[in-house]
Amino acid sequence: MTLIDRAGIPGARRVVVKVGSSSISGDNAAKIQPLVEALAGAHAAGTEVVLVSSGAIATGMPFLALDERPSDLATQQAAAAVGQNVLIYRYQEALRPFRIVAGQVLLTAGDLENPTHRSNARRAMERLLGLRILPIVNENDTVATHEIRFGDNDRLAALVAQLVGADALILLSDIACLYTRPPDEPGARPIVDVGTGDDLSGYEFGSVVVNSVGTGGAATKASAAKLAAASGIATLVTSADLVQAALAGDQVGTFFVPQPVRTPVPTGAIRTTA
């Protein structure tokens, strides 16, 4: 199905939700619980939900006595190896009262570029969803290198949404919606809807932000949203605090109207450009 507006999200057959490191790690680790409650509500209503969650490195940092995100690859990999285990445990504990089981899926860019690996990933995720398991996807930071990384999990989420044929993609951020320029600058206006032919080149999203716990920013979310929408997937960018409203189809965030005819993903390659 192709959703034409936010109101269709509650009736979507399959939804991919992406959350960033800053929203669920450090002082915000407690926000995992309301996020899970919103996902569980959609799950109970019959929607198949896939969560793409950053946060392995950020979650592992305190266990390695690190005050900021490490810059060297080996330490990033070590932090991810520790943090991914803790992160999945936190999600599973939050899901337990809803009797939902989480399934961990770790991917690299190479997995989605290799036809055999991609087919295996799609088959595994289809089976997890068929069993009513909630897949939790993250980049496999322990084995990824700088050269083969997705770059940010917004793009990974768009590619996963393509992979599983999602009806909707919800990219959760630290702000309620996208703006025409950084929201703290004079003249910044909220972007409510982005049509299929709208040109965003005049907006000042800024470059990718690298903070103490993760990577990403408005520019990566706009790019990922355009990629998904071009494939026929309705995409919403909003705050992690508004995830329940987003899944309920409320008038929140920035909505990217999808192409009316879903573009099939070629057997030999995942689309990586909008």
CATH of residue 246: 3.40.1160.10
Core vs surface per residue 208-245: b (16+ CB within 10 A) or e: eeeeebbbbbbbbbbbbbbbbbbbbbbbbbbbbbbbbb
Q: Is residue 263 part of a domain?
A: no
Q: Which residues pair with 204 in a beta bridge?
A: none
Q: Is residue 175 part of a domain?
A: yes
Report the chain's terminal Cα–Cα distance, integer Å: 20
Q: Compute CA distances 139 → 11, 55, 80, 107, 273, whole Å.
A: 28, 10, 10, 5, 19
Residues 192 and 190: their CA atoms lie apart, in Å, by 6
Q: Is residue 32 part of a domain?
A: yes
Quote the number of domains for the chain.
Answer: 1
* Helix intervals (H) in 17-132: 21-24, 32-44, 56-60, 73-95, 109-113, 115-130
Q: Is residue 261 part of a domain?
A: no
Domain range enclosing 10? 6-256
Is 250 annotated to bind a ligand? Reply is: no
Residues 180 and 192: their CA atoms lie apart, in Å, by 10
- Residue 229: strand, helix, or coil: helix
Q: With beta carbons less than 8 A apart as the criterion, state whether 92 and 99 touch.
A: no
> Quick one: which of 127, 121, 123, 126 has its CA closest to 140?
121
Is 226 annotated to bind a ligand? Reply is: no
> Quick one: which of 52, 58, 239, 244 has its CA closest to 163?
52
Report the pLDDT value the prediction gives residue 206, as an integer from 0 to 100: 57
Report the pLDDT value the prediction gives residue 269, as an integer from 0 to 100: 39
Q: Is residue 56 part of a domain?
A: yes
Structure tokens at 34: 């309301």
Q: Which residues pair with 239 in a beta bridge?
A: 173
Is 5 annotated to bind a ligand? Reply is: no
Q: What is the dihedral of CA 265, 127, 240, 174, to 10 degrees?
A: -50
Residues 169 and 229: their CA atoms lie apart, in Å, by 9
Structure tokens at 165: 């044929």
- Residue 105: strand, helix, or coil: strand
Q: Is residue 154 part of a domain?
A: yes
Give pTM, 2 decimals. Answer: 0.90
Q: Is residue 266 part of a domain?
A: no
| pLDDT mean values, one per 10 residues, the chain (274 residues) | 88 96 91 97 98 94 93 90 96 98 92 91 97 96 64 88 97 93 89 89 62 62 93 96 97 94 48 37
Q: Is residue 271 part of a domain?
A: no
Element (H, E) at 102: strand 102-107
Is 111 annotated to bind a ligand? Reply is: no
Is 31 annotated to bind a ligand? Reply is: no
Report the pLDDT value the prediction gives residue 267, as an integer from 0 to 100: 39
Is 174 annotated to bind a ligand? Reply is: yes
- Residue 171: strand, helix, or coil: strand
Report the pLDDT value the prediction gives residue 142, as an integer from 0 to 100: 82
How many CB atoms are closer than 10 A to CB 147? 6
